[in-house]
Structure 1
Amino acid sequence: MFPLYDVLPSRKRPYITIALIVVNVIVFIYELILNDRELLVFMYRYGLVPARYTVERVREALGFSLFPFISHMFLHGGFWHILGNMWFLWIFGDNTEDEMGHVGYLFFYLSAGVFAALNQFVFTLHSTTPMVGASGAVSGVMGAYFVLFPYSRIVTLFPFFFFLTLVEIPAFYYLMIWFFIQVMNSLVGSYGVAWWAHIGGFVYGMLWGYILRMRKYRRYRY
């Protein structure tokens, strides 16, 4: 089930979502011009390496810095990696930015990425593999969308036997299925993807969405 777009038009131009996509693309282009050794150093310097904070010899080699908890979300491991993350950010980001406002949305996005990284960190304390990618922050955006726009519909490319067809799926069900897949993959220990970051980011986004919805409800009530 590959999402193509949602049916909710945004009321304002999503400047922050566009800016985030542009920054991610610029960083990825920079990655492409690095040679293999330079790219490896770049990933270890700005990617999130859990062992950097838990294993002394790794900390001595890389140095102590908290910046990777932010910088990791602007790095990507390949073309399909960045394409998938930016596509999902574009689909779910504009309406979420509408609801939160530009400044609030930027703070939310960055904090969701940090929270997602912390969640992955807890489950991979001694890993020496750099965690990179915007998927934790994007999962936060999806979690907020899940709460704020459950009755929106996601136009999805759906395989049916040997054919592909377009299906409109309510956002509530689409995102619930997506979250279930993340949980199942985390439980079976599927390697190479930060599943716990996806889960943490999504739950964080749900909490933000719930708080925003309650504030709006109280404002209209009084």
Structure 2
Amino acid sequence: MVFIPLSDDNPRLIVRYPYVTWGIIGLNAVVWVVLQSGLLIPASPGLAMSWGVVPSLVSGQAVLPVELQIVPPWLTFITSLFLHGDVVHVAANLFFVWVFADNIEDSMGHVRFVVFYLLCGLAGGLCYQLSVPGSNAPLIGASSAVSGIIAAYLLLHPRVKIWVLLFARIPLRLTASWVILSWLAVQLGSLWFSGDDATAWMAHLGGFAAGALLTVPMKRSEVPLFGRPPKTIAGTRRIEEF
């Protein structure tokens, strides 16, 4: 990963407590610790196949053993968003959620942000499914939903300054547009050069595209695009809207 985001200079204006953002972080962390880390119970080697998006299962070209059939294949487009491959995978996704998601929740409200997050994750899963319909490689991770959040941030807050670690070592303070467009270039380059369908670049790009398309209809009407000076947002006082 080129950049690891650490913090942004972007206070929330409307939502005092980003419950959904905190819930996403907490749920992903709990699933990892309880079911995948092996710290509390032995990690099941078949968990990714049971809860992840496996294109061959969704398309009906393959069937799981009965003992692994925990949820129907269509539901894995949601359950896959809460599983991760390793601790680096889950930590990286949750850093992005921590830095970017609260401001998108602020711009949309709690309920619409939940819908936005799940739709972006669903779009990423569908893009992966359509790109490799016969693959047996499971897609897991919140990356497609996180990609949608990143797209929304680019449209709403491109000029905000963000602290990042370059190559996980060098602290830099950069504009959000520079960071996000660099991230997007890495995704496109990786898709171009990678022939490994286990690396789900299409899911990242599908989530990003969904986020870009959904931001305008799902944001609050008074929230401006591209970081322009906002119209009076509830007199700049914080309100809690669902």
Aligned mate of 1:79, from 84, 87, 102: 87
Q: Which letter maps to 2:145?
A: A
Q: CA deviation at 1:214?
A: 9.2
Percent identity over paired residues? 31
Higher helix share: 1
> Tell me, which stretches of 5 or more residues in structure 1 are unaligned?
none
The C-alpha deviation readout for 1:154-205, integer Å capped at 9, x for no partner, is 112236xxxx543221111210111111011011115342111111111111
Return the offset for 1:148. 0.8
User: Is the contact made by 2:161 and 2:175 (CA closer than 8 Å) also made in structure 1?
Assistant: yes
The 3 A distance-change label for structure 1 pair 190 and 215 is farther
Question: Which of 170, 179, 192 pairs up with 1:174?
Answer: 179
Q: Over the residues paired in the alignment, what is the CA RMSD in angstroms?
A: 2.2
Residue number in structure 2 paired with 1:188: 193
1:65 Cα deviation from its structure 2 partner:
2.9
Question: Counterpart in 1 of 2:122?
Answer: 114
- 2-side partners of 1:18 and 1:99: how far apart? 16
**1:49 aligns to 2:54 (yes or no):** yes
C-alpha contact (below 8 Å) 1:53/1:59 kept by paired residues: no
Contact 2:4/2:95 (CA < 8 Å) preserved in 1?
A: no
TM-score, normalised relative to structure 2: 0.80
For these two proteins, the number of residue pairs brought into alignment is: 212
SS of aligned partner of 2:123: helix
* Alignment check: 8 A CA contact 2:112 2:218 kept: no
1:114-148 superposed Cα distances (whole Å, 9 cap, x missing partner): 01110111111111011100000011111111101
- SS of match in other structure, 1:151: coil
How far apart are residue 7 of structure 1 and its match? 0.8
Change (3 A) 1:138 1:84: same
Cα distance, 1:190–1:96 mapped onto 2, change above 3 Å:
farther
Q: Specify the alignment match of 2:213 in structure 1.
A: 207
What is the one-letter code of the residue matched to 1:128? N
Query: Which consecutive unaligned segments of at least 5 residues does structure 2 have?
Result: 225-230, 232-242
Residue matched to 2:238: none
Cα drift, residue 32 of structure 1: 2.4
Deviation digits for residues 78-105 of structure 1, max 9, x if unmatched?
1001000011111110100000101110
Q: Secondary structure at the match of 2:171?
A: strand
The alignment's TM-score, normalised by the length of structure 1, stands at 0.87
Distance in structure 2 (CA, Å) of the matches to 1:26 and 1:154: 27
- Distance in 2 between residues matched to 1:59 and 1:174, nearest whole Å: 41
